[in-house]
Structure 1
Amino acid sequence: MAERIWISRVSNLVRRIVRHYGAASAGSIAAIGLCVALCSSAAASSSALFCVLVPHFKDEYWLSVGYGLEQEAARQNVELLFFEAGGYRARAKQIEQLGSCTKRRVDAILIGAVTSDHPDLTEAIAQAARNVPVFGLVNELHADGLSGRIGVNWHEMGYAVGRYLAERHPEGSPLKTAVFISGPPEAGWTSPLETGLRDGLAGGAVAIIEVFGADTGLRQQLALVETALDHHPNADYLIGSAPAVEAAIGLLATKADPNTPLLLSTYISHTIMRGLMNGGVLATAFDDPVLQGVMALNQAVSVLASERSVEVVGPDIVLLTNSDKNLVDIRISPPEYFPDIH
């Protein structure tokens, strides 16, 4: 049975994120000593050692991916080293982390790439793959030498949201407007997501009047929300990334204007789940990030055992709405979970 979601308005998770990102300098110094200890213990252990590289954990979505990885790693006797680049524009940092993982002689590298096709990163991945199996994790990635990838079709993620709105406002009904707030253009998922959203809206009576994009940290997405609502105060809908919708929830709560836009998210997070359950969020596309973590770990273990590369696989995409009766059965990471980052 799926785990029941823990609902807490101010959770341990929030406090841990604040502590982590508020003490980055001290954490960097401590990580040096921790790295020595981890490397020594890994050398003495018989368990496999995997590196997991992600854009950042400021977006709660990645916490659920990390949780799925850790849960399955414990079952499979695999040790994980988590690294975050710091954002979708931290390409050089992620390349550096690839090199560090290769030098550690880890058994596999799982990478949530900050860009899908920039030649600097794809070449670094190809070089790393000559020495250690490399697996794409969640994000679109066009690199040579991958041993596998777990992920979903982000066109379908956008399409699910667009189709929902098109059915809610079919062609011939009064025209509704929407602003769309997404991630940065260099992220591999943003372009197919927008294309899918527009394809889903086709034949309906909802029009996207402006698109905004930036890194998916809460601060950057909040700035976009403020700009979008300033430009289009009468928009009927705000469609956004999970951090954008989270920012919109907080911003709109401070306003007395009853004509605020209805909110839809293009993917899940803890805040989005709470919003669905309390009615503040209308709908979201759900690609089961916990299961993607589990599948990624299983894929890497399987490929290492067989030495055969595999094709892209991932969970089915479903649309969750605030009227669904089974929201309490949807699994995301517990509110107190935050991975150890190196």
Structure 2
Amino acid sequence: MRIIWYLWLAFFCSGAAAESWRLQVPRIPFDYNSGYETVDYQPLDKAAKPWRLCIAYPHLKDAYWLSVNFGMVTEARRLGVSFKLVEAGGYPNLQRQIQQAESCVAEGADAFVVGTVSYNGLRSTVEHIAASIPVIAAVNDIADTGITAKVGVSWTDMGAAAARIIAERHPKGSPPVKVAWFPGPQEAGWVKFVEQGFQNALAGSSAMIVATKYGDTGREIQVRLVEEALDEVADLDYIAGSAPTAEAAVSVLRARSLQDQVQIVSDYMTHAVYRGVLRNRIIATPTDLPVLQGRLAIEVAVRAIEKKLQYSHLGPQIQIFDQQSSDPNMLDLSLAPAAFAPVFELRTPQ
């Protein structure tokens, strides 16, 4: 199995230099409300030097960040740069991420790529690091201060895309349905955005949020929260929330023989969500193409080091995956190969 993903990685790297990526660029950098321009983005062929990057993730608890990691490994190998990766172990661990970032950068880095655990909590840390090297925000949104560039999609739009999966099935005036909503950890920077988008898009339908459960995106926590919601609302129609929520809900509903009564929507895609959609256990999910985001974050970091930035804010176009989806590129740019294991340190060949 390990050989298979190495071959997959070699395929990506061999063809990547000639490809272009279809991306969205906010008209005003760092402002998702400014509207978008769509561009065909041509990545660099190679880095000018074997730069060293420091990368920080909020966690590797679910396969979403594993897919981001695969994208970063792919692009770092293609460009010829190295990195060290640290992960905080979850969104409650702000101080751990701050300490990890400071230590990683102090070991020597030409750029810092951060998937933050908190929208505002790293502000002073980022300012300090940005005084000497570029700082690239990857996937999760973060306060603008000190940030050189951002790679990501609007989590307001991701929340809205998930809500529309339900809203389109239950337009205003149709019989009401009850939704239990699991936004994620309340302290995480992206949660307030995904929640705003979800609530706004659901407002024009007959669907009602009857329970809201916040919690870290670990599976055990989400299982407990799903069970709480089912205990509190006997006639629930939908469970909607993060990928670990959806994954947990599949098991809990099956254990309670409720899989034909309660339907599931995920607000982002992982391998388990993908399988759930194929097996008709999860209706659909938006995907923000995490593999592509990982690749793009590395490419943008190299551009920032070499002062070749074309755009200071850009990301993929959100797509919906359901049983009718037929674009193989969507899966390639969303999911790491099944045999891929996380890479915490990548060194360039000497």
- The bucket for the TM-score relative to the shorter chain is 0.7 to 0.9
Residue 337 of structure 2 is matched in structure 1 by 334
**Residue 310 (structure 1) shift:** 4.3
Structure 2 residue 109 is the aligned partner of structure 1 residue 106: yes
Residue 25 of structure 2 is matched in structure 1 by none
Is the CA contact (8 Å cut-off) linking 1:147 and 1:309 kept in structure 2? no
The 5-angstrom pairing of residues 1-342 of structure 1 reads 47-118=50-121, 121-257=122-258, 260-306=261-307, 310-326=311-327, 330-331=331-332, 332-341=335-344
SS at match of 2:168: helix
Q: Taking structure 1 as the reference length, what is the TM-score of the superposition?
A: 0.83
Distance 2:328 2:241 in 1: 20
**Residue 141 (structure 1) shift:** 0.2
Q: Between 298-307 and 89-98, report the one with greater CA deviation.
A: 298-307
Distance 1:102 1:341 in 2: 15
Is the CA contact (8 Å cut-off) linking 2:259 and 2:281 kept in structure 1? no
**Residue 258 (structure 1) shift:** 5.8
**Residue 329 (structure 1) shift:** 5.4
Distance 1:127 1:329 in 2: 37
Q: Between 247-256 and 232-241, report the one with greater CA deviation.
A: 247-256
Alignment coverage as a number of residue pairs: 297
Unaligned runs of at least 5 residues, structure 2: 6-48, 346-350
**Residue 322 (structure 1) shift:** 2.6
How big is each residue's C-alpha offset from its partner over 1:206-233, in whole Å with a ceiling of 9 and x where there is no partner?
1111111111111111111111111113
Is the CA contact (8 Å cut-off) linking 1:105 and 1:132 kept in structure 2? no
Distance 2:297 2:330 in 1: 22
Distance 2:139 2:330 in 1: 22
- Specify whether residues 325 and 340 from structure 1 end up closer, same or farther in structure 2 by C-alpha distance, changes over 3 A only: closer
Q: Between 294-303 and 254-263, report the one with greater CA deviation.
A: 254-263
- Specify whether residues 184 and 168 from structure 1 end up closer, same or farther in structure 2 by C-alpha distance, changes over 3 A only: same
Is the CA contact (8 Å cut-off) linking 1:53 and 1:82 kept in structure 2? yes
How big is each residue's C-alpha offset from its partner over 1:166-195, in whole Å with a ceiling of 9 and x where there is no partner?
211111110011000121111111111111
Q: What amino acid maps onto 1:80 in structure 2? A: F
Higher helix proportion: 1
Distance 1:138 1:339 in 2: 17
SS at match of 2:128: helix
- Specify whether residues 245 and 145 from structure 1 end up closer, same or farther in structure 2 by C-alpha distance, changes over 3 A only: same
**Residue 198 (structure 1) shift:** 1.2
**Residue 308 (structure 1) shift:** 5.4
- Specify whether residues 131 and 285 from structure 1 end up closer, same or farther in structure 2 by C-alpha distance, changes over 3 A only: same
Q: What RMSD, in angstroms, separates the aligned Cα atoms of the two structures?
A: 1.9
Q: Taking structure 2 as the reference length, what is the TM-score of the superposition?
A: 0.81
Distance 2:329 2:312 in 1: 32
Residue 10 of structure 1 is matched in structure 2 by none
Is the CA contact (8 Å cut-off) linking 2:54 and 2:105 kept in structure 1? no
Q: Between 149-158 and 300-309, report the one with greater CA deviation.
A: 300-309
How big is each residue's C-alpha offset from its partner over 1:4-45, in whole Å with a ceiling of 9 and x where there is no partner?
99xxxxxxxxxxxxxxxxxxxxxxxxxxxxxxxxxxxxxxxx
Is the CA contact (8 Å cut-off) linking 1:277 and 1:327 kept in structure 2? no
Q: What amino acid maps onto 2:97 in structure 1? A: Q
Distance 2:131 2:67 in 1: 30
Is the CA contact (8 Å cut-off) linking 2:300 and 2:309 kept in structure 1? no
**Residue 328 (structure 1) shift:** 8.4
**Residue 259 (structure 1) shift:** 5.1
Q: Between 233-242 and 310-319, report the one with greater CA deviation.
A: 310-319
Identity %: 35
Residue 18 of structure 1 is matched in structure 2 by none
Distance 1:271 1:258 in 2: 16
**Residue 289 (structure 1) shift:** 0.3
Distance 1:102 1:197 in 2: 36
**Residue 257 (structure 1) shift:** 4.0
